Chain A
Amino acid sequence: MNIHTYIHTYIPAHHLSETDISNLDVVSALFIQMIILAEKSDNFDSDDYDGEVTQGAYRPAPFTDANGAAIANACYKKAIKCSGAVLRLFYQTVKPTVDLLRPVTQGEIHSGLIGIPFEAQAKSYNRPFSDADFIKRVDFEYAEEDAPVPADWTNACSDTTPDAEYKYTCPWTNSIDDDKVWVRAIAIDDGYCDSLLEKIWIKIDSTPPTVTNTSP
Chain B
Amino acid sequence: MEQSQRKRIYALLNKRILTIILLFFLAVGSAAYGYGGDEHWDITIKARTNYRNWVLADPDNRVGASAVAINQDDVASGSVDEDYPTSQAPWLEHYMDPDTGEGLWGNNSAYDRAMDADHWPQVLSYYENGNYTDAYHTLGRVIHLVQDMGVPAHVLLDPHWHLIWPIEDPDWYEHTYIHTYIHTGSPFI
Contact = CB atoms under 8 A, between A and B. Distances in A.
A37 interface: yes
A90 B44 CA distance: 14
Interface string A73-103: 1011011111111111011101110100010
B149 A111 contact: no
Given A72-B173, A94-B124, A124-B98, A80 B54 contact: no
Nearest to B123: A90
Contact of B120 (A73, A111, A122): A111
A83 B44 contact: yes
A98 B50 CA distance: 24
A122 B155 contact: yes
B187 interface: yes
Given A75-B150, A111-B115, A122-B149, A95 B155 contact: no
A151 to B, nearest CB: 21
Given A72-B177, A107-B124, A164-B66, A192 B54 contact: yes
Contacts of B67: 91, 95, 165-166
Contacts of B147: 79, 82-83
Interface residues of A, number: 61
A84 B50 contact: yes
Interface stretch (B5-13, B82-90, B138-146): B138-146
B15 to A, nearest CB: 33
A190 B57 CA distance: 10
A204 to B, nearest CB: 13
B187 A69 contact: yes
A132 interface: no
Contact of A91 (B50, B51, B169): B51
A114 B114 contact: yes
B163 to A, nearest CB: 15
Interface of A: 18, 33, 36-37, 40, 54-55, 57-64, 69, 72-73, 75-76, 78-88, 90-92, 94-96, 98, 102, 106-107, 110-111, 114-115, 117-118, 121-126, 162, 164-166, 186, 188, 190, 192
